[in-house]
């Protein structure tokens, strides 16, 4: 079945860039997503990328996709304390039942 992996924790200083990485196994993935979850809240869609794209930029967020290696990354420029949250990578496959498969989430801690 599909599998999505992320590291569990990342700590960065305020003002630095954060890079959160994700690998996936489903070669039929059509969309790849990044969601943000703040404490006690649901998931907020941050951005997504089509599988035929290499890069997408949206203000402070840059998504890079290496389809050959099945590797996705999210770069947050000028990281702020408000960026502290759990970030989930998810892939949307077109197998027998199209659905989102999530990674375990990466907890981003921003220090002063």
Partner 1 sequence: DVKVTQSSRYLVKRTGEKVFLECVQDMDHENMFWYRQDPGLGLRLIYFSYDVKMKEKGDIPEGYSVSREKKERFSLILESASTNQTSMYLCASQGGSSGNTIYFGEGSWLTVV
Binding residues vs partner 1 (CB under 8 A): 1, 4, 8, 30-31, 33, 35, 40-45, 48, 88, 90, 92, 97, 99-105
User: Closest Cα partner for 56 from 75, 39, 41, 37?
Assistant: 75
Write down the least CB distance from residue 51 to partner 1, Å: 11
Write down the least CB distance from residue 85 to partner 1, Å: 14
| Inter-residue long-range contacts of 55-61, CB under 8 Å, 24+ positions, other chains counted | 61/34
Q: Do residues 109 and 11 touch, judged by C-beta distance below 8 A?
A: yes
Choice between 14 and 104, CB closer to partner 1: 104
Choice between 70 and 103, CB closer to partner 1: 103
Choice between 79 and 101, CB closer to partner 1: 101
Task: Dihedral sign for Cα 58, 76, 55, 31, please.
Answer: negative
Write down the least CB distance from residue 93 to partner 1, Å: 11
Write down the least CB distance from residue 88 to partner 1, Å: 7
Choice between 98 and 111, CB closer to partner 1: 98
DSSP 8-class letter at 60: T
């Amino acid at each position: 079945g599909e599998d999505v992996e992320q590291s569990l924790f990342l700590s960065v200083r305020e003002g630095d860039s954060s890079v959160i990485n994700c690998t996936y196994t489903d070669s039929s993935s059509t969309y790849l997503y990044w969601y943000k979850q703040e404490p006690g809240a649901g998931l907020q869609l941050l951005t997504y990328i089509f599988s035929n794209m290499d890069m997408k930029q949206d203000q402070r967020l840059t998504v890079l996709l290496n389809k050959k290696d099945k590797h996705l990354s999210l770069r947050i420029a000028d990281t702020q304390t408000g960026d502290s949250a759990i970030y989930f990578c998810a892939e949307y496959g077109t197998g027998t039942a199209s659905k989102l498969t999530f990674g375990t989430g990466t907890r981003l801690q921003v220090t002063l």
